[in-house]
Structure 1
Amino acid sequence: MGPVQAPPPTSIPHLPEGDSALAFLREGYNFVSRRCERLGSDAFSTTILGRPVVCARGREAARMFSHPGRFTRRGATPPTVTRLLQGRHSVHQLDGTAHHQRKALYMQLLDAGATARLVELFSRQWRARTAAWPRRPEVELQTEAERALAAAAFRWAGVPAPATEAGIAGRTRELAAMIEGAGSLGPRLVRGLRLRRRHEKRIRALVQSLRDAPGPQLDSPAALVARLRDEYGTLLPVQQAANALTNLLLPTVAVGRWITFAALALHRHPELRGRFAEPGYLQRFVHEVRRFYPFVPALAGRVREPFDWAGRRFEAGDLVLLDLYGTNRHPALWEEPGRFNPDRFIGWNGDPHGFIPQGAGDYLEDHRCPGENPTIALMMAALGHLLELDYSVPRQDLRIPMNRFPTGPRSRLILGRARPARPAHAAVAATA
């Protein structure tokens, strides 16, 4: 069953617990929903590190948060998150005309044709990697997925890629470290910052070389981004163009976490393997993976234009935290939200506010991730290829820590004794 109606909150109670920073770090993805349920409201106010914030979940909260022009991301997220995942003056930090212009470029670069090319390149990389799995006693799935995604993203974007496995591994580590460090303090953060600097040095040099190249250039994503201009027609500074190019590569590698969750769901629910021959089931399975498993915990925004919602006046500068994970598991929106059930997406209407694993609202007008459709296509391709294999899942730590950002199985999902599937299984995979 798909999303149903849930009423908007009528008031926003204040959480009587003092500063919530430690509780948020301790409970992670579950922090907002637990307090909403306890307070009987889909929104509440609190302070985090001394800063007043309204935390909200649900369809109406997503509709409020994604209203065009209402919020800005600038100054809303911790500077380390911005530095590692987005970079200054990225599309996430822009508003108004500048945001629309940059977002339109990303939508162009990630259209259906570009997505098909990216998926084709990924499938080649994935098959080349899985062809070697039978010669290895075990493989770490998340690492394998990230390397295949990185190699495909480099080739698709027109970024020179290393020719060796060691080279690809090194470049992938740089991008993966940025993702790993974004929601942490301490060694993971320091490593992510260090490797981002190394990555940026290389990308800045590429941008400059593309600008300096004489004559006409191929319109690869890298070349288009290198020539990117702002809303006034001025060529972007090299660092800003490098950030824009990185923001095509980094989210692609992050899909490796979704692929790992998809394989984990396949392991947890082996009874569903036979259903992939059904039309549309592969996509429904991928949607349910994105609903069920934790990815981005929340989005933060600062109010740009004052407005009223749920009996409260929101003034310019107020901070709001939209709970993505809690909305995707909201008991008033999803029947039995704690049960993995791809069939809930039969007849789904594409609700942009009730199902929000990568943001809410409209792609062009709002801050919803322009890479959502490529994410779905890459997950479907990876899952289809996994269905072509027989493999074991040896004993390991598959627990998912809910207070780690971003999270995933502790073992990163180890697969053993992988080999091509028996003909019957392969036929099922082929029809998926």
Structure 2
Amino acid sequence: MPNNGQLPRDSGLDHTLGLLKEGYSYILNKRYSMKSDIFETRLLGQKAICMGGAEAAEIFYDPEKFKREGAAPNRAKETLFGKNGVQGLDGQDHKHRKAMFMSLMSPDRISELTRIVTKQWELAAHSWEGMDEVLLYEEAQKIMCRTACHWAGVTVPEEEEKRLAADLAAMYESAAAAGPAHWKGRHSRNHAEKWIGELVEKVREGKVNPPEGTALHTFSWHKDLEGNLLDTETAAVEVLNILRPIVAISVFINFLVLAVHHYPDEKEKLRSDNENYAQMFVQEVRRFYPFFPFAAALVKKDFIWRDYKFEEGTLTLLDLYGTNHDPQIWDSPDVFNPGRFAGWESSPFSFIPQGGGDYFMGHRCAGEWVTVEVLKTSLDYLVNNLEYTVPAQDLSYSMVKMPSVPESKVVLSQVKRRL
């Protein structure tokens, strides 16, 4: 029988400051202290439900129970997502728009992406050989920006590459920021959306002709369920929803190098069985290190789960980081162990660094395949084609800052290509 719908409740008037203080660990810490995978709290002055674990993820990605429209705060739309993007759609509109993204994920297109990534690493490494030090995070952003633009069919003047990389990085770096950092993210998005919007218009006017199958071409000519082209602003937002996440892979690239540095025995495993072990290593990096802390949705209609009542319109947060560190799912979750993925059968709800559920029908990130293949290709180049030294520096990373990267942003020296 239902227990009157009374969720375990976090006492106090508002816990927004607690969330900001504890960061990635906030929901997981509360789950431990309350001995419950689900609890009620108040964030930004409103009631919110927080939950984690595989069963919670399965419920969270049930489109009959939760919706995304209106869930993301305006601050996130103004920086991270943009307005009217695929992340905020539901039902058939979402399914139709998601299919547009998934059309880019064919084997041929992914193969082209890895070819571009390899070439960009080689060009960057050639220039690094003449440098005293390389700041990996910033260099990786430029590599990923050039890769993303080339793959998406977006031609960028060389003098604009650095600015675009900075704009795309500012969008995800400012998602949880306030003050000047937030305004920087908004300005960067406005600047990039205007530029991409102009490209979309030029494509439609026949003045720019990106290759078929690329994001710029596909999104410029995509029609909604009513048979209308996307408005220019929405098409620009969706092109940026390809470019921005690929640049954000630079966060994981820093953690790839950090993991190889902290666990030197892994390098020999990667070199001796690089194809199979690289997959496991990349997945463990994505599980172990912080990336997205949680996902947000609104309860679509009243329902009961685990005898608890979920009321329509309630903000609900799914603990992504905590689910990836849940001892009920993972043995020794705080130990870095790529071997845990040997023979692992993929679950759409227990391993959710970029969301859960089905790629085609649900809200799991369409770019997850891109992330994995780019990271595998980057790891292969770093381990098998590059020699470098990691000098003394602050390699600690915050569990509060979002996104989190090593404090030093990983400085490399004595970089040489292995010829």
Question: What amino acid maps onto 1:152 in structure 2?
Answer: T
The 8 Å contact of residues 158 and 223 in structure 1, kept in 2 or not, is answered as: yes
**Paired letter, 1:129:** A
Superposed displacement of residue 98, structure 1: 0.6
Instruction: Tell me, yes or no, if structure 1 residue 265 matches structure 2 residue 262.
Output: no
Q: TM-score, normalised by structure 1?
A: 0.92
Q: Contact 1:68/1:365 (CA < 8 Å) preserved in 2?
A: no
Instruction: Provide the secondary structure at the position in 2 that maps to 1:45.
Output: strand
**Residue-by-residue CA offset, 1:212-243 (whole Å, 9 max, x unaligned):** 11799742320211112211111211101111
Structure 1, residues 243-269: CA drift from partner, whole Å, max 9, x if none?
A: 111111111101111111111101110
Which residue, 211, 218, 224 being the options, matches 1:224? Answer: 218
**Structure 2: which amino acid aligns with 1:25?**
L
1:323 is the counterpart of 2:316: no
Q: 1:252 to 1:69 in 2, by over 3 A?
A: farther
* Runs of 4 or more above 2 Å deviation: 214-218
Alignment correspondent of 1:176: 169
Aligned residue pair count:
411
Q: What does 1:11-410 correspond to in 2, within 5 Å?
A: 12-163=7-158, 166-213=159-206, 218-219=211-212, 220-276=214-270, 277-278=272-273, 280-387=276-383, 388-410=385-407
Shift of 1:327: 0.3
Tell me, yes or no, if the aligned pair for 1:11 and 1:41 is still in contact at 8 Å. Answer: no
RMSD after superposition: 1.6
Distance in 1 of aligned mates of 2:310 and 2:370: 35
List gaps (5 residues or longer) in structure 2.
none
Percent identical pairs in the alignment equals 37
Find the residue that maps to 1:274 and give its secondary structure: helix
Q: Is the partner of 2:397 in helix, strand or coil?
A: coil
Structure 1: 5+ residue stretches without partners: 1-9, 424-432
Q: Give the residue type in structure 2 aligned to 1:417.
A: Q
Question: Post-superposition shift, 1:302?
Answer: 0.3
What whole-Å deviation, never above 9, does each CA across 1:262-318 have from its counterpart, x for those lacking one?
A: 111011101111111225111000000000000000001001133211211212211
CA distance, structure 2, for counterparts of residue 190 and residue 25 of structure 1 = 19
Aligned-partner Cα distance in 2 for 1:217–1:183: 34
In 2, Cα distance between equivalents of 1:29 and 1:238:
36
Q: Deviations over 1:89-114 (max 9, x none)?
A: 11011111110001011001122221
Task: Name the CA distance, whole Å, in 2 between partners of 1:54 and 1:101.
Answer: 29
The 2-side partners of 1:185 and 1:227 are apart by 36
Q: Does the 8 Å contact 2:296/2:318 carry over to 1?
A: yes
Length-normalised TM-score, structure 2: 0.95
SS at match of 1:248: helix
> Quick check: 107-116 or 249-258, which moved more?
107-116
CA-CA distance at 1:69 after TM superposition = 3.8
